[in-house]
Structure 1
Amino acid sequence: MKKATYVMILVLTIFVGGMANAQHAYFPTEGTILYDKTIHVKNLLRRHISTLKDDNFSKKYYQELMDRVSETAVLKKKVSFRGQEMSLESIKETYDPILSNLLRSGLLDYQPTLYQDLSKSISKSTFEIGGSPVFIQDSLLQVKWKITNEYRNIAGYDCRRANGVTLDSVYVVAFYTDQIPLSAGPGTVHGLPGMILGLVVPEQHFNIYATDVKFGSPDLKTVTSRKRDEPMTRQEAHSRLKDILGRWMTDQQLNLLFAAMFL
């Protein structure tokens, strides 16, 4: 009888303790997340070269770069979030001259500053193309998700995998945690029941994973334009850039270019 009573008390203690822990579970609503974006540079260059016409003067230049460029490059990103708002920015670092040139050209990364208000379905981003600023303001990107039963631990968080399609045909793989309740991530891809801590975009030859999560009041980056920089929707940017670049670039190149800009 004493043994049975002891077991019952032990079970009740564990149960009550579990209830107390559940009641005090902490779901942060503001903080910053650091990410490493790994770009498979040689694979990206091979893809780019394959889209160029044989008489394109850039083709030989990129072919010669293949022997001198590094296999991969890692860029640092920071996401700040508070409530239903988030911002993304690039952390400036020094790269070798070849990678620096590829970054300036936009081939590796447009290094945008992004701001999103999920409660208002607003997305704003700004970046440069050929030294000229581009300012995009539009609704949130639409993504069709299928959540799987695969899990991965990222930066100390158990994250669940989801496969998605966006921009008509771009396939993405995301790992999100519901322990950070904001439906956002390291870019415009969103719409899952928690923060995306890992994102893979095979077509763009990159993956980005969180390395550190810190809670506390963040410094959100707002995105504004100069008075003479007219904001464009994604469709307007697509049409305008196609008019300018269409004579030199194939449709395949343009589609890859726009996916890199809008993600």
Structure 2
Amino acid sequence: MKKILYTAVLLLTAFTAPAQVISNGIIKYEKRTSLKLQMKNTFSDKPDMLRYIDQVPNTVSSYFTLYFTPRQSLYKFEEHEKLQGMASYFTGSSPANENVVHRNLRHDTITAKKKFYDAEFILKEVPKAHQWKIEEEIREIAGYPCRKAVTTMFDSVVVVAFYTESILPCSGPESISGLPGMILGVAIPRLYTTWFATEVQLKEPPPEVFAYNFKGKVTGSEDMEAMVKKSTKGWGGSWSVYSTWWMKL
């Protein structure tokens, strides 16, 4: 009964009461990966990798910041959870785990920096359009009522997002977008990873944060994907497929 009442209050607050629309701010995200489960399923046919499972924690976290204005947003890696030994190695060397993504909201273009081990890619492209199915479920994230939406990426990867109409710039973590509001939560079960906002700061970002230097040669996403597949050929398990998904996210 309490759960029903709480949901009703969220719905009433989000969709019937007048609300202040936020267009400038800073959002802190925690990215959490179920590392032990990811390794178990990704390296199912690689006994030499599976022997490290007992040396890693169940989950590991990384932290990102999203700066946004009505014109643009910048999603930027901050730090990894402090870990030791093999846990630190697997977290630090995972593909695309320190991404920086700038989004021009006026022209709907993105510029991104992504790392694949020692290789670094600079991408400039129009974000791919996804067919989102907006559902009735509402949950509160970082103090904001968020509606659930579901889509499929890369033909078969289900992505669950939670967005709020209280923050108008249509942006979110990584390159994920296309919803009528800011995305404060994402879950991708096949990547064993979630992104959830932990804090929303209602202040205008300093202009210099958007002057991020994307230094390097611009690479097309198809060339990047081909390089990742070539580099991981013969690794066994599902790591080649997972690596490609991470880099395209």
Superposed pair shares fold, TM > 0.5: yes
Partner of 2:42: 48
**1:126 aligned onto 2:113:** yes
**Residues 75-123 of structure 1: CA distance to partner in whole angstroms, max 9, x if unpaired?**
111111111311111222432232221123215x521111111321211
Match of 2:27 among 28, 33, 37: 33
**Residues 100-157 of structure 1: CA distance to partner in whole angstroms, max 9, x if unpaired?**
21123215x5211111113212112113223232212211132210000111011111
Offset, 1:221: 4.2
Distance (whole Å) between structure 2 residues aligned to residue 110 and residue 212 of structure 1: 21
Whether the 8 Å CA contact 2:42–2:237 is kept in 1: the answer is no
Whether the 8 Å CA contact 1:124–1:223 is kept in 2: the answer is no
Secondary structure of the residue that 1:137 maps to in structure 2? Answer: strand
Q: Which amino acid aligns with 2:242?
A: L
Q: List, as ranges, runs of 4+ consecutive aligned residues in structure 1 with deviation greater than 3 Å.
A: 219-226, 249-253
Pairing 1:7-22 to 2, within 5 Å after superposition: 22=18
Q: Which amino acid aligns with 2:92?
A: R
Partner of 1:256: 242
Distance (whole Å) between structure 2 residues aligned to residue 224 and residue 232 of structure 1: 16
Among the aligned pairs, what percent are the same residue?
Answer: 24
Offset, 1:61: 3.5
Change (3 A) 1:86 1:251: farther
Offset, 1:32: 0.4
Partner of 1:171: 158
Compute the TM-score of the two structures, normalised by the length of structure 1: 0.80
Secondary structure of the residue that 1:123 maps to in structure 2? Answer: strand
Distance (whole Å) between structure 2 residues aligned to residue 260 and residue 136 of structure 1: 14
Partner of 1:162: 149
Pairing 1:53-64 to 2, within 5 Å after superposition: 59-64=46-51
Match of 1:101 among 89, 93, 97: 89
Distance (whole Å) between structure 2 residues aligned to residue 92 and residue 221 of structure 1: 19
Residue correspondences, number: 230
Whether the 8 Å CA contact 1:184–1:190 is kept in 2: the answer is yes
Gaps of 5+ in 2: 1-16
CA RMSD, aligned part only?
Answer: 2.0
- More deviation, 180-189/252-261: 252-261
Q: Which amino acid aligns with 1:48?
A: T
Q: State the structure with more CA Rg.
A: 1
Gaps of 5+ in 1: 1-20, 53-58
Whether the 8 Å CA contact 2:43–2:238 is kept in 1: the answer is no
